């Protein structure tokens, strides 16, 4: 499957009024690179609308580049006059084809940034279809489109968080996990929670189905161990060892609580 990523703006654009070090264009460009790598590790083919941050391309043309893709995703941060506002927002194409994934991505941003205001989706109709040019372009080539606002850069806490490269890498991996789960892609070739799940299972192993929306993977069998990943696809996984109500994943990613699984 092929995905088209769009770094929201080019050059130096949309400087934060509460932290002058932050530019929306810089954040979107960095996040695009991290997300591209994370998605490719799942086996997706990823194209981008621009190969240079300094080059511009017309809005609809960017959306039309997604022809043949399963998703067009434009990366942004939002702005408003109220510095207290910081909810994530997924602006989805008016066709409704991206609503479910848009909501999941908005909730992912909320979780990773630890935001109290709930993530939501929004659709805006224009005079000739989608109001947003990039989404209008994507719709014209029959690609579900999402313009994802990573909170508000007019909020100091959000701008400070988005300035950190380590945070953007964490966000990219979480968004890749969400997208992979939505498209039922189970295997990550490098570090994802389902890596190597296709290998021959050892004797005595068994399958479990995840019964909750988000199940933490921990380094060891218990809540006292660090979280090393999260399963969000309600998929089927192989357990090769049990201990105190916890199961060790065949992939080697770690342990999950068996209370949230069905054998």
| Helices 99-113 and 165-182, axial angle in degrees (round to 10) | 150
Same domain? For 136 and 212 the reply is no
Burial letters 50-85, b for 16+ CB under 10 A, else e: beebeeeeebbebbbbbeebbbbbbbbbbeeeeeee
The conformational region for residue 168 under phi > 0 = left, psi -120 to 50 = alpha, else beta, is: alpha
| 3 state SS for 150-193 | EEECCCHHHHHHHCCHHHHHHHHHHHHHHHHHHCCCCCCCCCCC
Tell me the C-alpha distance between 193 and 97, whole Å. Answer: 27
Kindly report the number of other CB atoms within 10 A of residue 11's CB atom: 12
Same domain? For 74 and 142 the reply is yes
Q: For position 199, what pLDDT does the model report?
A: 45
Q: For position 99, what pLDDT does the model report?
A: 95
Tell me the C-alpha distance between 75 and 93, whole Å. Answer: 14
| Single pTM value for the model | 0.71
Q: Is the pLDDT of residue 201 over 60?
A: no
Q: Across residues 78-89, what is the average pLDDT?
A: 96
Query: Ranked by mean pLDDT, which of 9-18, 148-157, 195-204 comes out on top?
Result: 148-157
pLDDT tens per residue across span 240-252: 999 999 999 987 8
pLDDT tens per residue across span 15-37: 999 999 999 999 999 999 999 99
End-to-end CA distance of the chain: 30
Same domain? For 137 and 224 the reply is no
Q: Is the pLDDT of residue 200 over 70?
A: no
Tell me the C-alpha distance between 27 and 30, whole Å. Answer: 5
pLDDT tens per residue across span 42-66: 999 999 999 888 888 899 999 999 9
CB of 18 closer than 8 Å to CB of 79: no
Instruction: Using DSSP bridges, classify how beta strands 2-7 and 71-78 pair: parallel, antiparallel or unpaired.
Output: parallel
CB of 176 closer than 8 Å to CB of 229: no
Same domain? For 214 and 177 the reply is no
CATH number for position 237: 2.30.30.40
Same domain? For 8 and 123 the reply is yes
Tell me the C-alpha distance between 25 and 48, whole Å. Answer: 15
CB of 37 closer than 8 Å to CB of 174: no
CATH number for position 63: 3.40.630.40
Domain count along the chain: 2
Give 211 or 5, the one with higher predicted confidence: 5
CB of 212 closer than 8 Å to CB of 71: no
pLDDT band at residue 196 under the 50/70/90 scheme? very low
Boundaries of domain holding 222: 206-262
pLDDT band at residue 194 under the 50/70/90 scheme? very low
Residue ending a domain, choose from 166, 182, 198: 182
Same domain? For 14 and 122 the reply is yes
Chain mean pLDDT for the chain? 90
pLDDT band at residue 187 under the 50/70/90 scheme? low
């Amino acid at each position: 499957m092929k995905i088209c990523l769009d770094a929201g703006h080019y050059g130096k654009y949309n400087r934060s009024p509460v932290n002058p070090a932050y530019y929306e264009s810089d954040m979107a460009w960095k996040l695009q690179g991290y997300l591209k790598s994370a998605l490719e590790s799942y086996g997706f083919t990823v194209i981008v609308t621009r190969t240079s941050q300094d080059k511009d391309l017309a809005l609809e043309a960017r959306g039309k580049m997604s022809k043949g893709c399963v998703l067009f995703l434009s990366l942004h941060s939002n702005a408003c006059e109220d510095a207290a506002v910081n909810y994530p927002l997924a602006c989805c194409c008016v066709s409704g084809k991206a609503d479910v994934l848009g909501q999941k991505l908005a909730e992912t941003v909320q979780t990773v940034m630890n935001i109290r205001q709930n993530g939501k989706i929004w659709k805006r109709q224009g005079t000739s279809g989608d109001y947003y040019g990039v989404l209008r372009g994507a719709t014209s080539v029959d690609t579900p489109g999402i313009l994802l606002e990573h909170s508000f850069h007019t909020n100091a806490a959000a701008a400070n968080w988005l300035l950190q490269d380590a945070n953007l890498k964490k966000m990219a991996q979480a968004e890749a996990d969400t997208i992979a789960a939505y498209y039922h892609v189970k295997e990550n070739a490098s570090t994802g929670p389902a890596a190597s799940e296709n290998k021959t299972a050892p004797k005595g192993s068994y399958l479990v189905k995840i019964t909750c929306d988000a199940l933490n993977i921990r380094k060891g069998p218990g809540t006292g161990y660090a979280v090393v990943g999260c399963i969000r696809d309600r998929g089927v996984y192989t357990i090769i060892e049990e201990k105190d109500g916890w199961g060790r994943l065949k992939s080697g990613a770690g342990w999950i609580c068996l209370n949230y699984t069905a054998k």
